[in-house]
Amino acid sequence: GRLKYAQTWSRQEFPSLKEIEINRIEAIKKSLRGEFIWNGKSIDVKDYLMNGIEKAEKGIKTLGCNPRYLNIIKRRVKKRRTSGDVIRRWYGKSSGSVDEKVASLVNKIWEHTRKNEPIV
């Protein structure tokens, strides 16, 4: 959707490879709590992603598709929490050996999958 938006409405330059690398490292280190570089300026990851989601949604709708999972992504960005954050918290709260903790995580993830519920 984001590509369709860019092709249709935007003549915006894409970021340099250096900016992409800086943003990638920032995302790895801070997840949704970091700052990205866009057009040489610092921008909050949440603002950056919400802007991209809006553009993607517009592009997807132009293709005649229903952006059915964007609401899940929007919720995660607004809360600044990913499924990885939740799984890390579950692991930290669980007790037992490493194998028992992993088995507990797999069971929790399976329950969400079985019910077709997102983790976040």
My answer on whether 77 and 89 are in the same domain is: no
Task: Report the number of distinct structural domains present in the chain.
Answer: 2
My answer on whether 71 and 93 are in the same domain is: no
Where in the sequence is the domain holding 73, given as residue range(s)?
Answer: 2-81
My answer on whether 11 and 65 are in the same domain is: yes
Structure confidence by residue, pLDDT tens digits, 81-101 = 999 899 999 999 999 999 999
What global pTM score does this model have?
Answer: 0.70
Structure confidence by residue, pLDDT tens digits, 11-31 = 666 777 888 899 999 999 999
The candidate with the shortest Cα–Cα distance to 45, out of 74, 22, 86, 77, is 77
My answer on whether 17 and 35 are in the same domain is: yes
